[in-house]
Structure 1
C-alpha cells in the first residue's frame, strides 16, 4: 500500500503545482469517501467491524460487498469470487449474531424489515436464513442440517446462538405462550 500512498502524493503535488485547487479539493473529498478504502485491508476491516456491524448499517455492509463483487468479477477469477462469497456469508452471519445479542436494537421495523427481506439469501442465492413475516426478534428460522429448517415461532424466546464462520447458524429457544 506504500505505492498507493506514494501515487496519491504525486497526484496531490501535480495538482498543487498546476494550480488546480478545486480539483485537489475534489480529489481529497473523493479519497475520504472511497468505499474500498484504497483496498487497504486494515481500513476495510475497521469499517466492517467497527462501523457497519456495531451501528447496524446493513445496507452499507451489503453495498460494500456488491462493490467488491463487481470489482472482482472484472478479473473473472472464480477462486476470488468464491472466497469473496464465503467472506460475505461469514460477515453477514457475524452481523446477525451481533443483532441477536443486542436484539433490543431491532425494535425499529424498518431495520428488521431490511434484515428480513435482504438477508434471506447468501451471494450464491442459497438460503442463509429465513425470518417470519411478523418480526418480534430478528430471526426465527435458520438453515439447519440437510434435513431442513428448525423453526421457532413468534413467541419463542431465543436463548442461545451457536455460530462459527464456516458453519450454519443454529438458534435454540423455548416456546412461550402469550396471553392477551
Structure 2
C-alpha cells in the first residue's frame, strides 16, 4: 500500500515538473513574439543615425516612445548573439515578461542598468559572453552607443547597491537571473571611444 502511494506522489511530481516546463517554454515564446513585434515597430518609427558620443547628452532625461501602451527608451543589440531587444522605460515584473527594462540610470549619464528575463530569446545567453564582445544601445532618437563587454560577475539579489553602482570601469550593465533565480548574472560594458 505504501509503495502505491509513493508511486502516485512521484507521478504527481513528474506531472508538475512537465507542466512547469511547458509553462516556461510558452512564456519564453510569448515574450519573444512580443519583443519581435515591438522591435519591428521601433525600426519603422526610428531613423538610426551614426554612432553617437554620449557626452553630448549628459544630464538629459531619456526620451521615450509609446508602442502598444508601453514606453520604450530604445533597444539593445548584441550582434554575436543575433539579438535585438526593445528596452522598456521602467522595470516591473509584468514589463519583464514583455521585454528587458531599464532598471536604473541613464544611457546619457553612463550608468544605465538593463534587467532582462532569463528567456531563451532574451537575456539567457548573456552569461556566456566574453570580454570584448560588442554591444550597442540605440535610443528612440536613433543615436547609437557602441560598447564592449569588460567584465562579468554573479551577484546575489541582496547586492543591489553593487549592481547599480556607478563606476569608471563600466558605462552599461545588463543582468538576468540564474536558472534557479537565486543569483544574478551581471555583464558590465564600457563605451567605445
Which structure: greater helix fraction? 1
The structure whose RCO (Cα within 8 Å, separation 6+) is larger is 2
TM-score (norm 1): 0.28
